[in-house]
Structure 1
Amino acid sequence: MSNITFSATRPVLVDRLGARSIVKDISFIAAGAALTAGAAQIVIPMWPVPITGQTFAVLFVGATLGSLRGALSMLLYVGLGVAGLPIFAEGGAGLAKVMGPTGGYLLGFVLAAALVGWLAQLQWDRKVLGTIGAFLAGTAVIYAVGLPWLSVALGQLGLPNDVNATLQAGLYPFIPGDLLKAAVAGGLLPLIWKLSNRVK
């Protein structure tokens, strides 16, 4: 049993922390969910979708844990929130939160972490442009799930839900922050790799 792991085929950053084990993998998965929960509380209030530090944490977890562990970490995060822990943005929790306007973004986190983790396994996160590209790709996945869900939710609330209204509510205000997050990651992750290589 101790030889079973959730590790990536190709090493990602957490694999630099020593021998792999199921205990370590579960710890990393839980830590990723905790990081995302903490980042979700960094909020600029907006309705229906607040600006948070959440998406950076999601993509960072994917990049550092790899595809499978990153996705499992986000599944744990969403599952704990649905179970009632106040870990979604602004202390939100419960199934109603997932079924509301921001539910699609939450589900998109799982796919985005998986994609960024897969790209990290292909070593995209070791170069500035590769990291930026991976983060932008992960961000696109979050929007690909989140925006259609948001549009339906707005319609159910009796609000305008045409393409422009949906983009105004769920995309345009977030573009500057998304670009900044990708740029920060582009500087941070390759630097961590260089430092870890020197330590090794």
Structure 2
Amino acid sequence: MSSISVSPRTLADVLPGGLARSVALVVGGAVFVGLTAQVAIPLPFTPIPLSLQTFSVLLVGAVLGSRRGVASMALYLLAGAAGVPWFAAHQSGWSFASFGYVVGFVLAAWIVGRLAERGADRNVLRTAGVMVLGNLAIYACGVPGLMLATGLPLAKALLLGVVPFLIGDAIKIVVAAGLLPATWKLVGNRR
């Protein structure tokens, strides 16, 4: 009988285990996002706080892959909607200005996770591109949600819900684009 070495599809696949590992990773991803969401800075000119949430959502998607990433962000969304105060600035529930962004986390986790499963998180440039796509998915859900919650027109919603965050998102993308490929290299050297 021959032994076939299967390369891990995501960083989470490097860890041994089956269903129990996947459940722990899904719950851990949701908790990680909930914790980083508390690192939030309210901005006086917009109802959307500056936080580490998007960075952790994109990392969770890349590390866990599409299915576990979506499950993790769906757990985060549903638990927060049910009252767990782990959205940015200890918010919870269905109706607040940034809820559309939280919905976008699920989509972003799927996109980033799917691309990571195909190896797009293993070099700096491709990882940066994946993170940009993930951010765009968050904005694609967040801006319409902001418009619905506040009655803002599109131009004003973009001005308040995207523009103030672009520099921070660029920094988060640079960090992720360095962190993920470096982690893959470290994992590869230890295998």
TM-score interval, normalised by the smaller of the two chains: over 0.9
For 1:25, the aligned partner's letter is S
How much identity, in percent, do the aligned residues show?
A: 43
Cα offset for 1:70? 0.2
Counterpart residue number, 1:194: 185
For 2:36, the aligned partner's letter is A
Task: Give the structure-2-normalised TM-score.
Answer: 0.93
Higher mean C-alpha displacement, 134-143 vs 78-87: 78-87
Match 2:37 to one of 40, 43, 46: 40
Counterpart residue number, 2:55: 56
Match 2:134 to one of 135, 138, 155: 138
SS in 2 for 1:93: coil
Counterpart residue number, 2:90: 91
Cα offset for 1:165? 1.1
Cα offset for 1:10? 6.2
Counterpart residue number, 1:14: 12
Match 2:103 to one of 107, 116, 140: 107
Cα offset for 1:139? 0.3
SS in 2 for 1:124: coil
**Cα distance in structure 1, aligned partners of 2:70 and 2:144:** 21
2:124–2:177 Cα contact (<8 Å) kept: yes
2:41–2:51 Cα contact (<8 Å) kept: yes
Counterpart residue number, 1:27: 24
2:9–2:118 Cα contact (<8 Å) kept: no
**Cα distance in structure 1, aligned partners of 2:173 and 2:89:** 23
Counterpart residue number, 1:171: 162
2:30–2:72 Cα contact (<8 Å) kept: yes
Q: Which runs of 5+ in 1 are unaligned?
A: 1-8, 156-160
Cα offset for 1:162? 2.0
1:10–1:122 Cα contact (<8 Å) kept: no
Name segments (4+ residues, structure 1) moved above 2 Å: none
Alignment RMSD (CA, Å): 1.3
Count of matched residue pairs: 183
Match 1:147 to one of 143, 147, 170: 143
Output one character per residue of 1:152-194: Cα deviation in whole Å (capped at 9) or x when no partner. Answer: 2211xxxxx2222111110000000111111101110000000
Cα offset for 1:124? 0.5
Counterpart residue number, 2:80: 81
Output one character per residue of 1:40-71: Cα deviation in whole Å (capped at 9) or x when no partner. Answer: 00111123100100000000000000001000
Task: Give the structure-1-normalised TM-score.
Answer: 0.88
